[in-house]
Structure 1
């Protein structure tokens, strides 16, 4: 018992200096505080500085923004149903977020390509049909023009397809003048063949019609030697019509 009491006294003897040392390390600041009032002039300095302006202006959504949000929402629902976009992580989540922009870019590309191809096609058609004769001109040519002069001018300009066109119109005009057919704008070449009653003219007229359709509607390039062969067939048919009238 006496030993325990002795040890307790020794512990208390060491504890009192340590506690006193810790209390000596504490310093208290009893300096009076000066309260500074902030005036409106002080605030105006900071209010005029844009670095201290933390207001954010919210842009009102336009109809285009509403359409884009609707489009994104539709895509999100589709991919939520197919892939489960809420559960997607990593590259898949990034791809699904990027997908609406990729689809929009692809749509713009298709539209640009469509308009470019349409423009090129129109230019090609204009170049191909630069020497063509419109249907509205056909009646005027047959009834009012000197077709022989038209053929001669086309040949002089090396427009051999156009010369073949005029040559066939010349045959139709001649058959109409001889009362062998009745020319009408809405009729087809087959109609004229059926109207032709002279059997000796049916075969050469059918051959000339096939030759004309092959060259004119087939849009094939024809040079002078080929034109001369075709022109001979039309000249022979013209002679036969005059002889059988």
Structure 2
């Protein structure tokens, strides 16, 4: 029985006598695939590009190099590091300006000299003839909101001029429009001066101290009483 198994094993053994020849790539095999049939990328002729296309391509290449951190094996030179830092600072500054412009609802810088925001209801201007200016002025004065109080005085002056039919009140009109409507030279000069005080304090966003406010208040009260 053992002899039979041994004979079967010998018969089943196959010895490979083929000679293996290694294959080698042709060193110039890439040249066979340089024709248009093997080009799968869109190549744009630089001569056909407009100046606008070349500009955006330069911008794209710049940011590609700026944010390309894949080549970590090569050490960046000092100049390249410096240029990347400058670029990041510029980008951050531009974003900062955009955010400031969006946040500011009045079109003025949020971080201006006057950080104290003064909110005035639009109802004051729209209902100028129904407002009790004495009451709201007393309230703003008690809170030492001098800029806001001067604004109320100016609107009160416009109301008085409108009641006397010296001007025609319209929320869309400017101070120059009202100045043109005033016929009296003396009143015109006073109105011009009070308009300057109002614009300087309100639109210029300059802080008004108690002394300056007291002088402005007397000028407004005198003008309102004489209209």
What TM-score range do you get, normalising by the shorter chain?
A: 0.5 to 0.7
Give the alignment's TM-score, normalised by structure 2.
Answer: 0.56
Q: Does 1:165 align with 2:151?
A: yes
The answer (yes or no) to whether the contact 2:141–2:149 under 8 Å persists in 1 is yes
Partner in structure 2 of residue 184 of structure 1: 170
| CA distance in 1 between partners of 2:112 and 2:146 (Å) | 18
Q: Does 1:109 align with 2:89?
A: yes
Partner in structure 2 of residue 16 of structure 1: none
Structure 2 spans left out of the alignment, 5+ residues: 1-56, 66-74, 105-109
After TM superposition, list the pairs within 5 Å mapping 1:28-39 onto structure 2. Answer: none
1:130 to 100, 111, 117: 117
1:198 to 174, 184, 199: 184
Q: How many positions carry a matched residue from both structures?
A: 153
- What is the deviation of 1:139? 2.7
Q: CA offsets per residue over residues 14-52 of structure 1, 9 Å max, x none?
A: xxxxxxxxxxxxxxxxxxxxxxxxxxxxxxxxxxxxxxx
CA distance change for structure 1 residues 190 and 227 in 2, over 3 Å: closer, same or farther? same
| CA distance in 2 between partners of 1:146 and 1:184 (Å) | 19
Give the alignment's TM-score, normalised by structure 1.
Answer: 0.52
1:233 to 209, 219, 225: 219
- What is the deviation of 1:202? 1.6
Structure 1 spans left out of the alignment, 5+ residues: 1-66, 76-92
- What is the deviation of 1:140? 2.6
SS of the residue 1:192 aligns to: helix
Q: Which has the higher contact order (CA 8 A, sep 6+)?
A: 2
The answer (yes or no) to whether the contact 1:201–1:240 under 8 Å persists in 2 is no
The answer (yes or no) to whether the contact 1:141–1:147 under 8 Å persists in 2 is no
Task: Find the structure with the greater CA-based Rg.
Answer: 1
What is the CA RMSD across the aligned residues, in angstroms? Answer: 3.4
After TM superposition, list the pairs within 5 Å mapping 1:18-29 onto structure 2. Answer: none
- What is the deviation of 1:125? 5.3
Partner in structure 2 of residue 142 of structure 1: 128
CA distance change for structure 1 residues 141 and 152 in 2, over 3 Å: closer, same or farther? farther
| CA distance in 1 between partners of 2:178 and 2:215 (Å) | 24
Q: CA offsets per residue over residues 102-154 of structure 1, 9 Å max, x none?
A: 544433322223334555675425964621436x4453351332222111111
The answer (yes or no) to whether the contact 2:124–2:131 under 8 Å persists in 1 is no
| CA distance in 1 between partners of 2:196 and 2:222 (Å) | 15
CA distance change for structure 1 residues 157 and 144 in 2, over 3 Å: closer, same or farther? same
